[in-house]
Amino acid sequence: MRLFLDTANIDHIRHGVKLGVITGVTTNPSLVSKEGKVDYKHLVQEICSIVPGPVSTEVLSQDVSGMVAEARQIATWAENVVVKIPASLEGVEATHQLAKENIKVNFTLCFSLNQALLGALAGAAFVSPFVGRLDDIGEHGMRLVKEIVEVFKKYPDSIKTQLIAASIRHPQHCIEAAEAGAQIATVPYQVLMQMIRHPLTDIGISRFLEDWHKVMGEGKSI
Ligand code: E4P
């Protein structure tokens, strides 16, 4: 399983990559807007230069020709850029056109197995089921991840699309995405920070140091 960071914040991306656990990034118009009134192309190019793997960034058009035109432009920004196309009917057609041009698509805003299937069949490199947003309306977001993983697994010859578990809200989502067999989970920075924390680890570190210093003397290191 791989971990991506779901943010457009440069400091957070630098930190995640430095930790050695973040191999990709996903952004969306809301996340980019959080960074203020930025130069979109410049920001995406900077992210792409920091991150070793795919960086997904979204089109704004909703019609096929607009999406395709924007995607073609975005695809020239960096080698590792991936274009996010929404899971609409127009999005399916745009994905198909872009896949024929070898432009990598992340089929985003997926809320059903059928949407994920159509994205995969149209040639998307990634599909992104939004777990948290399904939970928000009383559905079981992770169940969708499991379903997609199971169905894609049945067709290894025809479906090469990877699943990105998205809209991750807490560390338990990461555990469940890993258990479900998601190839990737894209996590907010705050969730990444929460993933490493455990009170027993903090207590354990303090206790080891206390015991050491009691015998070896205060401030004595290795
Ligand atoms: C994924 O690609 C999206 O950017 C993201 O996960 C959306 O998450 P949200 O539902 O927390 O906005």
Which residues are tagged catalytic? 84
The amino acid at residue 203 is: I
* Crossing angle (nearest 10°) for helices 189-196 and 10-19: 30
Query: Could you tell me the distance, in angstroms and rounded to a whole number, from the CA of residue 107 to the centre of ligand 1?
Result: 13
Ligand 1 atom 11 nearest Cα: 167
Please state whether 100 falls in left (phi above 0), alpha (psi between -120 and 50) or beta.
Answer: alpha
Global pTM?
0.95
Ligand 1 atom 1 nearest Cα: 166
186-221 residue pLDDT tens: 999 999 999 999 999 999 999 999 999 999 988 778
In DSSP terms, 81 is beta-bridged to: 55
In DSSP terms, 145 is beta-bridged to: none
Q: What is the number of the ligand 1 atom nearest to the C-alpha of 169?
A: 11
Cβ-in-10-Å burial (0-12, 13-18, 19+) of 90 comes to middle
Contact (CB, 8 A) for 7 and 35? no
Query: Could you tell me the distance, in angstroms and rounded to a whole number, from the CA of residue 125 to the centre of ligand 1?
Result: 18
Contact (CB, 8 A) for 168 and 185? yes
3-35 residue pLDDT tens: 999 999 999 999 999 999 999 999 999 999 999
Token pair, residue 204, equals 């354990």
Q: What is the number of the ligand 1 atom nearest to the C-alpha of 84?
A: 2
Domains by residue range for the chain, with CATH? 2-197 (3.20.20.70)
Measured from the CB, is residue 7 less than 6 Å from ligand 1? Answer: no
52-79 residue pLDDT tens: 999 999 999 999 999 999 999 999 999 9
